[in-house]
Amino acid sequence: MRYSYSVCRQNIASMARRWLVLGEGVRRLHVSSAFKAKVAMSRFEPGTSISYEKLHENIDIVRKRLNRPLTLSEKIVYGHLDDPVGQDIARGRTYLRLRPDRVAMQDATAQMAMLQFISSGLPKVAVPSTIHCDHLIEAQIGGVEDLKRAKEVNQEVYNFLATAGAKYGVGFWKPGSGIIHQIILENYAYPGVLLIGTDSHTPNGGGLGSICIGVGGADAVDVMAGIPWELKCPNVIGVKLTGSLSGWTSPKDVILKVAGILTVKGGTGAIVEYHGPGVDSISCTGMATICNMGAEIGATTSVFPYNHRMKTYLNKTGRADIAALADEHKDDLIPDKGCKYDQVIEINLSELKPHINGPFTPDLAHPVSEIGAVAEKNGWPLEVKVGLIGSCTNSSYEDMGRAASLAKQALDKGLKCKAAFTVTPGSEQIRATIERDGFSKILRDVGGVVLANACGPCIGQWDRKDVKKGEKNTIVTSYNRNFTSRNDANPATHAFVTSPEIVTAMAIAGTLKFDPETDYLTAANGEKFKLEPPNGDELPARDFDPGQDTYQHPPAESGSVMVDVSPTSTRLQLLEPFDKWNGKDLEDLQVLIKVKGKCTTDHISAAGPWLKFRGHLDNISNNMLIGAINIENDAVNKIKNRLTGEYGGVPDVARHYKANGLSWVVVGDDNYGEGSSREHAALEPRHLGGRVILVKSFARIHETNLKKQGMLPLTFADPTDYDKIRPDDKISITGLATFAPGKPLKGVVKHGDGSQDIITLNHTFNENQVEWFHAGSALNRMKELQ
């Protein structure tokens, strides 16, 4: 493995980070265009960010080697290969060693990522990196009040992140800056860049022709350490778009339709690449919406080809220099003619109808025209209690403008929303601009509450008061996920995801049975009227208002910066290395829980109130698997302690097993670990004595996160073997002395009645990842190699 920590490289990286603030618009510091152009070019210096010339050179090498046309995603991914000459390349099979250009971390995941980086002993990050404070702000009253309260409640964590960023060369976006993915789109994404982010919706940047991939914190540490980053060579799913969007149909409907086709795991191991003549009818931020929610189909990432809509967005956000360079290298930023996809889906945008997906899963797709009847048939509450617009998926200027156009129509007829209505701006720039242009006032006047520039209810940061826990109700959001309990911790909340336009219309009408294309509303004077289709400018005519400056650049000299973690803190905890493998098979692992059905990272490591412990591994481990359904009794967080015979919470039983020297295994179903990138879902089982997660199939990020922490993520070679496991079984994993890529392991399942089953267990470890297991974690292995 190769490290690079020269002073020269650090200076170049520092200059690149500086440009990324200046280059997001002359507006922020009003730098001269000549100076801006000069620093913009420095962004493409070797060692800081891959240059378009280097990208082209690598693409040329790989194209000649493979002797075939390349898809756009292949161009960008292979263009960032550490060794384009010698790298083995086979879609869906080989592991690629890549050199990402940049790392981005949101505050909830950045805590553990920075704690791991600190424990690595390295002095500075080797690539431009940023931290974004967006997850810890709870929606309660309104933007100003909620932000103020968050700064007080989270002062210790924000101070840690700010000082750690300053110490190790990481830019820090303060609370109130906005949602990480919107900030990336406005400042850091550009056509052809390879960026990794510690959040599953990092693919949002694909709307600007970027390959942006969600990862766990340990992956981010590798990149920040200057180590080539591994990614299984993705398959490529092509989505050909024809026709054009119009009327009530929005970009959100494209991904809602695709989710219905591919399901929550149909994109696993693949990049979704949109192409075709219909692309040009979608705005840059609309493309970002589509890419963002590609996480809900399990895709590695999603991407659109460079076009004039992206150029316009770059120009409007102060990056005309980047747009000019992208124009010069456009052939490398679009797919080759004749390139082949592993699967092709075709969608005619002219025929696409508005969709609404849910409840409880983002791939349950319905046309809006049918959802009322479907809800009645299934007994879902028809009354819309709350409509929520915004989030990283749909909080652009265009989104807010189109929602405001509908609100204005209602106000003109003397109406306000029948449902509660919340609005989340995506960034300080969006907030300031929609405030200046009057959208915020319209949305408030119709009954809306404008929340802080943060994730808020989308990730469970919602102090909801209008219903009691367990009360059956319906909410409609423009978010991306609608898993059980995700938004408000109420398992009886039926959450549906749709476009901001449909959310606004349903909030005005107050019911799922309202189809704005055909149904009428009653004005205050008794007149019947239909809402006209929404309209809104793609970008502000008067340019963006930057709002408050919320960025902290790391100092050139950081020797005097202190990063304190109190040993008595309940929110932050320095990490201790995990134990190494002892060289033996794993004998008699107790089944901790056999999970029934869907088990997302929300089930494994809940968010909401638990977010405050994201920097304290022991405290947050108290939420491990408390949302998973125990197949033995269909209960949540109630399992039998096989040592005492008593029932207890999952974390409590796990702690008891660990204290008594009993290692354990979790048994799960399909697509285990779907959802957020949170590596806490892998850290917690490891911390509490788990050794193996045995399932039918894994979601990509979670499987990698488990490997990084020294766990064994294994799958049944025969999925029906899941049925052979009993909740009181013990399982031995044999064959570890010859553990190697492509070689299955054996599981000896020992039943309480003395009988046994021998089953074959598959894995996807490569040689480097086997070393992670031997060392006890990827971080341990990194230290061994220093």
Q: Which of 289, 611, 298 is nearest to 479 (CA)?
A: 289
List the catalytic residue out of 43, 80, 135, 494: 135
Query: Does residue 199 carry a catalytic annotation?
Result: yes
Degrees (nearest 5) of the Cα angle 763, 768, 773? 60
DSSP 349-405: TTT---EEE-SBSTT-EEEHHHHHHHHHHHT---BEEEEEEBTTTB-SHHHHHHHHH
Query: Does residue 680 carry a catalytic annotation?
Result: no
* CA distances to 92, 300, 453 from 344, in Å: 16, 16, 37
At 648, is the secondary structure helix, strand, or coil? strand
User: Which tokens sit at 745?
Assistant: 């392991």
Distance CA 750, CA 323 (A): 62
CA 208, distance to chain mean position in Å, is 17
Distance CA 528, CA 519 (A): 10
Angle 180-187/284-292 helices, nearest 10 degrees? 140
Determine how many CB atoms are found less than 10 A away from the CB of residue 518.
Answer: 9
List the catalytic residue out of 43, 355, 642, 678: 678
* CA distances to 191, 275, 314, 396, 431 from 319, in Å: 12, 24, 5, 18, 20
Whether the ω angle into residue 727 lies within 30 degrees of 0, i.e. cis, is no
Determine how many CB atoms are found less than 10 A away from the CB of residue 155.
Answer: 10
List the catalytic residue out of 200, 283, 427, 676: 676
CA gyration radius, the chain: 25
Which helix (H) or strand (E) segment holds residue 241: the answer is strand 235-242
Collect all residues with Cβ–Cβ distance below 8 Å to 345 and sequence separation of at least 6. Answer: 237, 238, 239, 240, 258, 261, 262
Query: Does residue 134 carry a catalytic annotation?
Result: yes
Which helix (H) or strand (E) segment holds residue 17: the answer is helix 7-22
Query: Does residue 275 carry a catalytic annotation?
Result: no
List the catalytic residue out of 99, 481, 655, 781: 481
Distance CA 171, CA 148 (A): 22
Collect all residues with Cβ–Cβ distance below 8 Å to 706 and sequence separation of at least 6. Answer: 673, 682, 685, 693, 698, 712, 713
Query: Does residue 481 carry a catalytic annotation?
Result: yes
Which amino acid, one-letter code, is at 405? S
Structure letter (DSSP) for residue 574:
P
List the catalytic residue out of 101, 107, 199, 253: 199
* Token pair 């600007």 in the structure block, residue: 208
Determine how many CB atoms are found less than 10 A away from the CB of residue 52.
Answer: 18
Contact 181, 204 (CB under 8 A): yes
The number of residues in the chain equals 786
List the catalytic residue out of 134, 399, 515, 670: 134
Which amino acid, one-letter code, is at 183? I
Query: Does residue 135 carry a catalytic annotation?
Result: yes
Collect all residues with Cβ–Cβ distance below 8 Å to 271 and sequence separation of at least 6. Answer: 73, 77, 211, 234, 235, 236, 237, 299, 300, 301, 302, 303
User: Which tokens sit at 685?
Assistant: 């089982």
Residues annotated as catalytic (active site), given as ranges = 134-135, 199, 481, 676, 678
